[in-house]
Amino acid sequence: MPRVTFHHDGGSSEAFDIAAGMNLMRAAVTNGVRGIVGECGGQAMCATCHVYVREPYLRALPRPGEDENEMLDRVAAPRDPRRSRLGCQVTLDAVADEIEVDIPVSQT
Amino acid sequence: MTTTPDTAASTPPPTADWVDPLAMQRDPYDTYDRLRDLAPVVHVPALNRYLVTTSDACRAIESDQETYSARAGGAAATMVRALGGTPMLRRDDPDHATERGPVNPPLRPKRVREAWAPLFERNAETCLAALLEKGPDEADLDHDFAAPLAAYNLVDMLGLPMADPQDVRRWSHTFIEGIGNIQDDPDIWVRCDAAQREVDAVLDDLLPRLRAKPDGSITSALANAGLTDDQVRANVKLTISGGLNEPQHMTTTIVRALGDHPEQRELALSDPARWPAVFDEALRWCSPVGMYPRETTRPAVLEGFRLPAGAALGVVVAAANRDPSAFPRPADFDITRPRQPHLGFGSGVHRCAGHWAARIAVGEIAVPLLHQRIPTLRTDALRAGNWSGWVFRGLTDLPVTW
Ligand code: HEM
Ligand code: FES
């Protein structure tokens, strides 16, 4: 089962096993993880599900699509050219089955 | 999760038999406070539904569309009757996503800025000229600026240059009357049917042309997404209904709120970076869409309260946006509050498709332009403006002077 770890500012973290095909925003919202809002329900329309993917996990992920890339310009916390992603556009599956992300200080 | 049935730990929601819909029509906020003090979800016999008034409960509903469906029947079926078809707003995923997906690209912020913002600016200038011509003794910001501006902007985004903005306003008001027609007034349905025919006539002509030669409009996006003509029609009509009144109300609400709070007005005028916060706070403080319907598909427990399957719910986002546990001093209009998400545009998959367009057209273009060009713009104390409504709420008129 894919596993996601959310790291909060200040050092605490939470890890969850999630269903294959589930995106990180949904995983955070259903588990009540603070700091991920997911206002538009995963349509790459709101940019309130911003995460910073930790370096070792970047390679297994497909690059952001055009919509995601555009919306990443709208995130509230600074955009990291490599690590910033929209949680709703990152899905865990058999290839990328483990990920650790940092939650930005602000989503709005 | 809050919605997993756990009957042992849950109780039925309390009933509020004192709710007076007519009083809510005038001013719902006292009623909202009393309901929220009672419980997050309360049964209201006078409205034949449960009203949900806390921020957490409204969000819990929006994060679980399998339990809380937008395909609400009963009173909510009026939307389908009014529009003559089922739009995305009355569907759940995956059906909803098929119709919503196509309208997202023309409404993402980059496209809004590149394609629509120049038109929003031009339209704001046109309407401002008309307002100035009316003069400081007679001008009404609603009739002479906010309403025509919302119509011009919508005509541009929908790509309906052949439609008279006056007609678009009439269609919009007719559809909204129909969506609210729970008392089943036959005259309203006659008007809705007529408006549907007029919109259909425009689309009969337009859709084949857009399929042959797509443009950047919302209608073109819908027409070229492999949807049936009925799906395209229903969603164009939805956008006509939803894309006009709310930007219109936001424009007048902001001007009124800043007029009543001169110190905040000064703050915005001296620091234009504050305009987005002005828009956001006004949307929270007096949300133009006050309530929208959902229906339970199965027995559920919402914040500890038991709901049967098929329960008609009113998600009262206007009340949630004044929830003191989410927003300190919730009744105060205060553009300096820390930024925080609220429910003025809804939340979840149905979150307003036009939210970037509205923010930019009203919050970043029209309202700043008004204040820059008429620095002494204020509410005319001699001719008071009136608030009205709770499902949809806003000023019915706003006499202004300068
Ligand atoms: C400040 C102005 C506006 C406000 C406050 C507003 C509010 C809302 C709200 C609360 C919803 C969700 C309703 C529900 O979940 O039942 C919604 C949906 C929608 N709005 Fe807006 N709206 C505004 C402007 C616009 C504009 C300008 C457009 C068109 C360009 C538009 C198009 C839509 C559409 C198509 C939906 C349905 C989305 C879906 O079902 O996925 N809105 N709006
Ligand atoms: S949830 Fe809105 S962009 Fe990801």
Ligand lying closest to the C-alpha of residue A38? 2
* Digit-coded pLDDT (tens) for B321-368: 999 999 999 999 999 999 899 999 999 999 999 999 999 999 999 999
- Tokens of residue B60, six digits: 């819990």
For testing contact with chain A, the best of B337, B339, B347 (most A CBs within 10 A): B347
pLDDT of residue B180: 84
* Digit-coded pLDDT (tens) for B250-265: 999 999 999 999 999 9
* Digit-coded pLDDT (tens) for B70-93: 987 766 689 999 999 999 999 999
pLDDT of residue A108: 86
Closest CA to B65 of A20, A88, A41: A41
Amino acid at A35: G
* Digit-coded pLDDT (tens) for B113-172: 999 999 999 999 999 999 999 999 999 999 999 999 999 999 999 999 899 999 999 999
HEC assignment per residue over B149-203: HHHHHHHHHHCCCCCCHHHHHHHHHHHHHHHCCCCCCHHHHHHHHHHHHHHHHHH
> Is the pLDDT score of B1 beyond 70?
no
CA B19 – CA B291 distance, rounded (Å) = 15
Residue in A39, A70, A73 nearest the CB of B341: A39
- Confidence band for B10, pLDDT divided at 50, 70 and 90: confident
Pocket-testing residue among B352, B359, B364, B392, ligand 1, by greatest number of atoms within 8 A of Cβ: B352
- CB distance B354 to ligand 1 below 6 Å: yes
CB–CB contact B341 A73 (8 Å) = no
Q: Strand B49-52 and strand B312-315: pairing?
A: parallel
* C-alpha B165 – ligand 1 centre gap (Å): 19
- CB distance A25 to ligand 2 below 6 Å: yes
Number of other CB atoms surrounding residue B183 within 10 Å: 8
State whether residue B364 sits within 8 Å of chain A by CB: no
> Across the strands, what pairs with B313?
B50, B294
Ligand lying closest to the C-alpha of residue B350? 1
Class of A3-102 in CATH: alpha beta
Residue in B1, B341, B349 nearest the CB of A108: B341
pLDDT of residue A37: 94
pLDDT of residue B3: 47
Residues of chain A short of pLDDT 70, as ranges, are: none
Prediction pTM value: 0.95
pLDDT of residue A84: 97
Q: How far is CA B243 from CA B192, B235, B239, in A?
A: 17, 11, 5
Overall size of chain B counted in residues: 402
pLDDT of residue B381: 81
* Digit-coded pLDDT (tens) for B295-321: 999 999 999 999 999 999 999 999 999
- Confidence band for B277, pLDDT divided at 50, 70 and 90: very high
Tell me the ipTM for this assembly: 0.91
Ligand lying closest to the C-alpha of residue B62? 1
Instruction: Provide, as residue numbers in chain B, all residues whose Cβ is less than 8 Å from the Cβ of A107.
Output: 341
CA A47 – CA B280 distance, rounded (Å) = 16
- Confidence band for B182, pLDDT divided at 50, 70 and 90: confident
Mean pLDDT computed over every residue of chain B: 94
Q: Which atom of ligand 2 is nearest to the CA of B351?
A: 2
Percent of chain B at pLDDT exceeding 90: 90
State whether residue B114 sits within 8 Å of chain A by CB: no
Instruction: State the average pLDDT over residues B195-222.
Output: 97
Q: How many CA atoms lie within 13 A of B346 on its CB side?
A: 24
Q: How many CA atoms lie within 13 A of B233 on its CB side?
A: 20
- CB distance A4 to ligand 2 below 6 Å: no
Residue in B104, B351, B353 nearest the CB of A39: B351
pLDDT of residue B2: 45
Q: How many angstroms separate the CA of residue B295 from the nearest CA in chain A? A: 18
pLDDT of residue B351: 97
- CB distance A47 to ligand 2 below 6 Å: yes
Closest CA to B328 of B302, B39, B336: B336
Closest CA to B3 of B340, B293, B320, B294: B294
CA B50 – CA B43 distance, rounded (Å) = 4
Contact B223, B99 (CB under 8 A): no
In this structure, the residue with its CA closest to atom 34 of ligand 1 is: B353
CA B243 – CA B173 distance, rounded (Å) = 11
* Digit-coded pLDDT (tens) for B364-380: 999 999 999 999 998 88
Tell me the torsion sign for CA atoms B109, B240, B236, B353.
Answer: positive
Contact B343, B294 (CB under 8 A): no
Burial of B38 (0-12, 13-18, 19+ CB in 10 A): middle
pLDDT of residue B237: 98
- CB distance A42 to ligand 2 below 6 Å: yes
What architecture (CATH level 2) is domain B2-401?
Orthogonal Bundle (1.10)
